[in-house]
Structure 1
């Protein structure tokens, strides 16, 4: 009886230890083929309305993981394992995807393309004490009131002002704005453009909204055409953009059509055809202007990687940002000397890196300190660098 009792107690103790280990939020004991690993979550849309842009960020993160597969923590080398989830460009699905990453016990999260899904998941990451580093989620609400969310891109107030400055500098006096109802990125960026353009003395002659998955924009565009604007600012997804562009030109609208960073995607050119020539957009990076040695190395290496993945070899800015977000995560992990989320969050506040998109450090809100945007157009079916611009 005594032997049985000892065996029972031993089994109970083992079970208790196993439960405690399973419930622990720390992944420090995780191993893969004998190697110590740390998990980094990739929270991106690879399907849905923003699936194309999300995949571009994922490719940048995967390439970063390929070139920087390990990190030193307390003198020991850990293999970095990416745990990818698809938030499907949907706010409800974003919550499910975020909860999956929490259950996977990731130490850091990267993403997401699309401010709306980033905002939807933000509190889940904060409650779990897992820091998130956005690549291109530009809406101010992503980091506001959430000290576990950071980002490596500039913000929409800056981007909206930059595009208003560009419009004003190129003689635009009247502008029309088209935004997507219920989309945080689209409505926010449209609003910031409006504020900046009117401050510069411009007039907003028309403001139009459209529904998600809308395909016919002719009624909206007919209203805009009657107002004869010099520029149409239409921040929208890569799904809606070619439809707006093509239908505007079919109606005989000759105004400049402009938007923000989401339009730097080759599928827009492919789907809009010749109508895409002359569009203008702001973005975060230009491969013809490497900011430093890291950028030069990334440009040559990532082009080879894209070729291997059977992708277009033109480097999207969001891929560069995805790469930079990964580098920031590694620097914070190494600085913290820990896989603990709170320790990594604290380290992120002081992180400085020379990334592909330039020098990156964070302000008190977790936003990257950036003051320059690249303006591009489309000419002969290709994106072409026009100028760099800052906020006046």
Structure 2
């Protein structure tokens, strides 16, 4: 945890937004990069960006619901002002991220932004937002580079309430070597920051643990025919294929691997973006027995109030959580609200003022016990801890999706 004085130095030395954000005094607040004035009774506008369409909709919608439930805990109001969530569909790609961030940054009333789910979005979006002096709290984007010590100053306004894949990749390699006793692996990525960085971390750790990486392959997120790739991989005779892809491509790999000669005994391991009923439907019968590396979401690993949250989720949406990062998004929203409460000031007329640099500092300083676990941001914006697990799908019926049951935890025991 950084002290406020150190944070101030960091912002000025390596994280100062572009000249579009300048020192300003409004009402009772003076701030080095700008002040937001929210008129009496006007809403506090919080931006959101998640994948809300296409095959990975469940990933983003689940997080959006987590934020909505966090707002509900304060009655939809903060400091006497209604909370308004302006959610954009970022489509889980760089172009969508640029569009969503540009739209949110163009609104001078955007106080802070929650999301995205995808690292492909966060990579271009976070700098756009920080250029406007807007803090972004990522809710499921796990690419290591986003909170690495050498991240550029353009990411100084970015934090995340989800783990880094520097930990997930290490855990997946450990499971491969110790749990599966795999000696060889082929990895497959789709060029996205999430998949490319995660498979590289896994490959590096797999090698350190004494395993051999036979090859590192790539596909397009929209590829349909995986047979040529899988035939090539089969010729290498790996013990394990590791493919942390998104729903559409992962389902194609899984289905077609089952019918590729030479892969009958090869274990298949995917990533955390696949925990959804949509993936079960896309993969069909091939999903039974398929495993994914995932954070531990068992009751013992989560915060003490998580069961209560799940009950509220079911009550609000008439179904249980539809993917796996709702708790991270909920905690991101709580962090945002706590930071706003800490720095906002009200004048005699009832207008609210929020200093942008003060808000950024507060996000880095605040700590609390979240429903996903302890939340405390380090100097590089990493605010969540990681506990590893491996989940296995037990049924091909999408209606049976229930995180912890289908898929169920199989490792560690």
TM-score, reference length from structure 2: 0.81
Residue ranges of structure 1 left out of the alignment (5+ in a row): 1-23
- Using the alignment, how far apart are the partners of 1:388 and 1:25 within structure 2? 48
SS at match of 2:325: helix
**Structure 1 residue 320 corresponds to structure 2 residue 327:** yes
Deviation at 1:84, TM superposition (A): 0.9
Contact kept, 8 Å, 1:122 with 1:142, in 2: the verdict is no
Q: Which residue of 1 aligns with 2:290?
A: 279
Deviation at 1:286, TM superposition (A): 2.1
Q: Which residue of 2 aligns with 1:330?
A: 337
- Using the alignment, how far apart are the partners of 1:49 and 1:267 within structure 2? 7
- Using the alignment, how far apart are the partners of 1:288 and 1:386 within structure 2? 15
Task: Between the two structures, name the one with larger relative contact order (CA 8 Å, sep ≥ 6).
Answer: 2
Q: How does 1:1-392 map to 2 (within 5 A)?
A: 26-30=35-39, 35-48=41-54, 50-70=56-76, 72=78, 76-104=79-107, 105-143=109-147, 144-145=151-152, 146-170=155-179, 171-181=181-191, 183-252=192-261, 253=263, 254-286=265-297, 288-289=299-300, 291-307=302-318, 311=319, 313-337=320-344, 339-381=354-396, 382-388=406-412
Deviation at 1:221, TM superposition (A): 0.7
Deviation at 1:200, TM superposition (A): 0.2
TM-score, reference length from structure 1: 0.85
Deviation at 1:315, TM superposition (A): 5.0
- Using the alignment, how far apart are the partners of 2:259 and 2:65 within structure 1? 35
**Count of paired positions:** 356
CA RMSD of aligned residues (A): 2.2
Residue ranges of structure 2 left out of the alignment (5+ in a row): 1-32, 346-353, 397-405
Choose 1 or 2 for highest CA Rg: 1
- Using the alignment, how far apart are the partners of 1:187 and 1:210 within structure 2? 11
CA distance 1:209–1:135, change in 2 (3 Å): same
- Using the alignment, how far apart are the partners of 1:292 and 1:88 within structure 2? 30
SS at match of 1:79: strand
- Using the alignment, how far apart are the partners of 2:196 and 2:378 within structure 1? 25
Contact kept, 8 Å, 2:295 with 2:386, in 1: the verdict is no
